Structure formats: structure tokens, C-alpha cells
Structure 1
Amino acid sequence: MRAEFAHCPNLTIIDTPGFVLKAKKGEPENTPQDILSMVKSLASPPHRILLFLQQSSVEWCSSLWLDSIREIDPTFRKGQ
């Protein structure tokens, strides 16, 4: 989604596929790696702000994807 405004910064929201641990039936086996690679490339530019959504039943510290997010933003400062 792209929102353009005349007198303030524009905003682009990129909704990526959710992370998966294993490819579903009929999907290529490398699907999880492809998704992670795409998310990393989209999230890496320094001007991007990351918003990582996690199910409320999962504690952030035990999230399977915490290490992946740390690779992109080691200090967790991109959202500040």
C-alpha cells in the first residue's frame, strides 16, 4: 500500500508472507528460505521501519524468528 501526501512524508507499507518452518504440500521445499531471504532484503535498507507481528500466545523472547530479526536490526532501533 502506498499513501502519498502533499505536505508530509509518504508512506509505503509492505506486507510480506508470514514466516514458515516447513513448506506446505505442493510447495517447493525451499519456500521457508525464500520467504526469509525476501523479508531480509526488503527490511534491510536503513530507512525502513520494521513492524514484526507475533501471535499473542507466543512470548517475544521465545519467538522462532527473533534471531532473523536480530540479523536485520541487531540493536532493535529501526522502529524508533
Structure 2
Amino acid sequence: MEMASFAGFVKTLVYIVLFYYLFKFLARIFAPIIMQKAMNKVQQKMHEQAQQQQNYTNHHSQNQNSKTEIPREKKKVGDYVDYEEVD
């Protein structure tokens, strides 16, 4: 079994620190671009949904307006008679 050397440990720590700072640097550059694209995608989806809702509402209201409803007469079943009990 081989023992880990102090130089190997220091080398590993340097790699970890370099990777951390490289990641941090690249995140500062690319994060705003990625966020902007994500916001544009969300905005586009919201716009499409609003357009679909508006089209549905317009189509639905046009169908209601195009149908001329003929008022129907209510069926008269009969007169209401209030019965009183006679002793």
C-alpha cells in the first residue's frame, strides 16, 4: 500500500482552487447570457399563451354573437292553486 505524499496533496489543493476560480470567472461571463436567453424563452411562452387566450376569447365571443338566440316561451303547466283545509 502506497502512502500519499505531501506534494500530491498540495498539487490536488492547487487544482481544486484553480478549478474553483476558473468556474467562478466563467460563471460571471456566461451566467448573464444564459439568464437572458432563459428570460427571453419564458417571455416568448407567456406571449404565446396570451395570444392563444385572446384568440380563444375572440373566437368564443364571435360564436356567441353569431348565434341568434330565439327566446323560447316557457311552458305553462297550469295555474298555481293554494288549497286551504276545510273543517
TM over 0.5, shorter chain: no
Give me the TM-score of the superposition, normalised by structure 2: 0.23
Structure showing the higher helix proportion among its residues = 2
Which is greater in Rg? 2
Larger RCO of the pair (alpha carbons < 8 Å, separation 6+): 1
